[in-house]
Amino acid sequence: MHPFEHFLLDGFQQVAADTWANDERIIIQPVFFNLVPDLPAPLTDLPALQRGLAGTAAGQGGALIEADVMSVGGQPALRQIIKVKLPHQPHGQAFLGSYIVPKAACSAVLRVQAAESGPTGQREALVMSQVGPADYFRPHPYGPDGEGGLPSHVADDPAYDAQFPQHPLSRVRQVMAQLAQQVELHPDFAALPAFAR
């Protein structure tokens, strides 16, 4: 059983098993985990969930940009976006978005990822020039558990996506929004017992 249905978007081609990509090198991957979800809190406790996810992302050298709970295919789902350093490169970041639909004994995850290429840091530099260095960096939005990884700053705010529509973070948000409007879940998966922690 593949839990996700109707997740293919125009312009995406299958490039590997359960992996689709487009010409902008945005990747979509539906994944099924036949394990009890390792979420740090139930979806009904968003602050605890955000703190725990922020700590996990920071512990892996990245940062949680945003996390919230919404409906995907009629089921409660965690929506999160994290940023990580590009491996084996001195500069640049990758942005990893996911919808996680947890069940009592398994989960379905729909991943969207895109990485910077060519000159990196342009969004950050331009936003810093607009707001000034004093207002650029900010505390991690989900508390001190997010500290220690990549810094939190205003350039990651969705308000700047329109100014930088081709930036990988903007594109990840765009693709995730498109997916949320059309993704459906296989009825057998949707009927499984709900995740409870």
Residue 117 lies in a domain: yes
pLDDT at residue 187 greater than cutoff 70: yes
pLDDT digits (tens, 9 = 90+) for 149-182: 899 999 999 999 999 999 999 999 999 999 999 9
Averaged pLDDT, 94-99: 98
Residue 167 lies in a domain: yes
Residue 91 lies in a domain: yes
Residue 196 lies in a domain: no
**pLDDT confidence of 1, banded at 50, 70, 90?**
low
Mean pLDDT across the chain: 94
Residue 150 lies in a domain: yes
Residue 178 has φ and ψ, to the nearest 5°, of -65, -45
pLDDT at residue 39 greater than cutoff 80: yes
Dihedral, CA of residue 169, residue 158, residue 185 and residue 110, to nearest 10? 20
Q: Within a 10 A sphere around the Cβ of 89, how many other Cβ atoms?
A: 12
Question: For a pLDDT cut of 90, what percent of the chain falls above it?
Answer: 85
Residue 157 lies in a domain: yes
CATH number at residue 70: 3.40.1000
- Pair 28, 20: CB distance under 8 Å: yes
Residue 195 lies in a domain: no
Query: Domain span at residue 9?
Result: 4-190
What is the residue type of 11? Answer: G
pTM score: 0.95
Q: Within a 10 A sphere around the Cβ of 38, how many other Cβ atoms?
A: 10
Number of domains in the chain: 1
Residue 107 lies in a domain: yes
Averaged pLDDT, 44-72: 95
pLDDT at 44: 96
